[in-house]
Chains A and B, each alone.
Chain A
Amino acid sequence: MSTLLIHQLYAAFAPWLILSFLLLGRNPHLSQTRIIVSPLLALGLLLIPIAGWNGFAWSRDIEMNPSFTLTALLSIGLCKRIGGLSLLRSCDWKTACTFGSIAAIVLYPLGLGLTPFDSYPWGWEPLLPVITALIASALLLQGNRFGIILLLPLGGFFLHLQESHNFWDALVDPIYTGFALIAMIFMTTRAGIARFTSRQTPQSALPQS
């Protein structure tokens, strides 16, 4: 199997998962037919040629290197949506969001030229895989299952499944980090509102003399 084909097969996985998710809709009670049809329909839609290229090729035009973290999180999310199988707990998802947000803050502003310092070349050096192994170990020691997810970028990078030779691309991508940042902002805002209302509630509950 050619290297290009391996890269294309891996890169096809994430858009198919995303489209399957979207086609499943938001209804919590999924019919058996919908569970079977949605992933097949997603595959069919992505195979329809538009201007001579199918949806997989168009998605490769934008993002050829979906991270292994994103692919794993999407797969786990789809398992939960379809089969109710919760491989990650709420605290694990929170860790995934925190990790993605921190990575986004470290990577993108510096990588896109905010400062004379660039963090993207770390991905070509031994530092980033070592940091990833350290974080994975720390999370696994605490029993956090996101630590298992972090093994996948190490394995996938070693197997050359991506077009990129930069470890950052194995670890994160703009789609994962974008969702992580939005989720973090949402969670922080919700926690802030909850804290604010909990402060307000005891005062209003004071007995009036």
Chain B
Amino acid sequence: MKIGVVNYGMGNIASVCNAINFIGFEASVINSPNELETCDKIILPGVGAFPVAMKNLNELQFIEPLNEKVISKKTPIIGLCLGMQLLFDSSEEHGKHDGLGWVKGQVKDLKSEITLTVPHMGWNRLEVKKESKLLIGIPEEELDYYFVHSFYCKCENHADIIAAVNYGIEMDVMIQKDNIYGCQFHPEKSQKSGLELLKNFCNL
């Protein structure tokens, strides 16, 4: 099975690859769009700013091949952290910018809505809204995941939300729409609970 990790110049993809390899799958770094074709699963990681990420995906000509693979061919994909935010219609980070538009909703600025420390950094417990194959075998008391982000996702359709977290405001932190998954947290940095989640994704 080929687990493709999209390399579009945003952050440290090494830790995602390390985690995938550790759980017994083989991570392939996808440096160019034509390498997507043979992927069985796709991981869209990302650390950094939304507009730069979209610009990079555009310039590296990833957008069309990703649409083809994810929307037409229904290949499972998971967006991690910034990668999840990119799945949405738009973000208000540094002005308003369009995302991939696969999931209905917006990415909003946390700082303008709460008085707590921003970024939302550290371990927080998921509040599960809907059953998900990704959470199979992970006990409720172990649903703690590592977050670090200053913008948060808000789904338009409640049916897309798997889990939320409350940090002064309710944020949608885990989503699924058909074959498209997203995690605002970093499963690759969330110890056993994170590795289990990634294993469930690879086993889909």
A and B associate in one complex: no
